[in-house]
Structures are given as structure tokens and as C-alpha cells.
Amino acid sequence: MSDYTSDELLTVAAARALRNDDVCFVGIGAPSAACNLARLTHAPDIVLIYESGTLQTRPDVLPLSIGDGELCETALTTVPVVEMFQYWLQGGRISKGFLGGAQIDRFANINTTVIGDYDAPKVRLPGGGGAPEIAGSCGEVLITAKHSTRTFVEAVDFVTSLGHGRGPDDRRAAGLSTAGPVLAVTDLCLLEPDARTRELVVTSLHEGVTRAQVEEATGWPVRFADEVATTPPPSDEELRVLRDLHERTERAHAGN
């Protein structure tokens, strides 16, 4: 089972960043697949919390949305959204949160609000939802995104969710004590904030990906770590579990 897609590698790499003792705020899509892959492999005790208020969810298939009945049916309990945000998230009880966005800049700030000028935008996006609270209150934030110059821009048009601002002191200046984004997982590489500047730097290239490919797909002169690793390919077990999960999901959503 050595053949795999870039999407599968992205999901596997994100799943590997999760620990068995994590309490994770899960998003729909790639984050949900990554979190449930981790739960079904190396992190069976991970606690998954979805924005709809479902706690310790253990879905058998991936949900279509945060309102999918699969989440309530497989959760330990469901609490009001207000309680989930105020007590669990803003109370500092969630160790990992997943975010993505239309734009992500070199300091891991995220835009999901507008493309272009705020008062006269080219595109008006869905907005922040709970993302700003996730960015500020989760112990650590993981970012997942497809790698392109359209997404990875030098500076976002609007800061919906604060990453590292413009440098190492900006989160503290904003009154935040959490770590913020610690890892960005793309279909080309892994990026982590530099310890001194907090700018995202490439720390691992996926198998077969060149530095030139990453440079061409990034909207700023991206830096590489002194020692750049090669991301280990998905194992046979990781691929089997992930593909089984997607197959079950497709059958369930097809009504079979």
C-alpha cells in the first residue's frame, strides 16, 4: 500500500501531531479526518470536541457538518454552544485546535473575512465563526491548508484569527498566553514558527517535493530550517484506517 495521494499525506501528517492526552477542538474536513485517524491509531484516548457542543465524540463516519447527527449520537454528552465556548474553550481546557483559511501569512495570521479592502472587498468570505476564539484560547493551534500563492500570502488582507502578529511579542501584547500556531501542514511540506522571529519556516518536505516547488507556491521568500527533514510517508496501517474511514463515510452519506 505504498501509493498515496497528497491529501492522504496531509491528513496523516496532521494526525501525527496529536497526542493521546490531547483535548482537541475539531473542524470539519481535513481536521476531522486527521483527528479521527489519530483516535483510531496512536491516540485512542484523545478527546474530540466539535463546535456544536459534542464532547468526547467518537464518530464511526466523518460528519458532513458540525450539526451532523453522527456527532451527538457518538458523543459522551452534548452541551450548549455557549458552555462549550465559555467553559471549555475560553476556560483553557482545550490543548489543540485546528484552523484553516482563505489566506495565511508568513506569521501564521489567518484571514476568513474578506479578500481585498474591507470596505470594498473583491470577495466577502464567511467570516470568523469561532476561529478567533480557537486561535486565542487553545493551548496550541495546528493549521491545515493546500499550498499555493493564493493561500500562503506575505500579508493577509484582514486578520480574522491572530497567529503571531508581526513577531514574537505580538500575542503577549494582545493579552494572550497561549502558544498560537505551532505547525502548518500542507500538501507539500510542514512549516513551524521560527523560535526567534515567529515567522513560518519549512522544517520538513514531503517525499518527492523540492524546495523550488515550495518556493513557487509561497507568496513570500520562504525560509528553510538549517536541517530540513523528509516527512515519513504514510504507513500501511495509517492508509488502511484512513481509507476505511472514508469508505464508511461515503457509504453512509450515499444512504447505503
Q: Which domains, and CATH codes, for the chain?
A: 6-251 (3.40.1080.10)
Cα separation, 203 vs 192, in Å, equals 7
Residues with catalytic annotation? 51
pLDDT recorded at residue 255: 64
The residues, any chain, with a CB within 8 Å of residue 230's CB and separated by 6 or more, are: 204, 205, 206, 207
Nearest by Cα to 121 from 129, 112, 130: 112
Helix, strand, or coil here: 26?
strand
pLDDT recorded at residue 1: 46
Please report which residue ranges of the chain form alpha helices under DSSP H.
6-16, 30-40, 69-74, 81-83, 131-137, 170-173, 211-216, 236-254
Q: What is the mean pLDDT of each run of 10 residues along the chain (256 residues)?
A: 87 98 93 97 97 94 92 94 93 96 97 96 93 96 97 97 96 96 98 97 97 98 98 97 96 78
pLDDT recorded at residue 253: 87
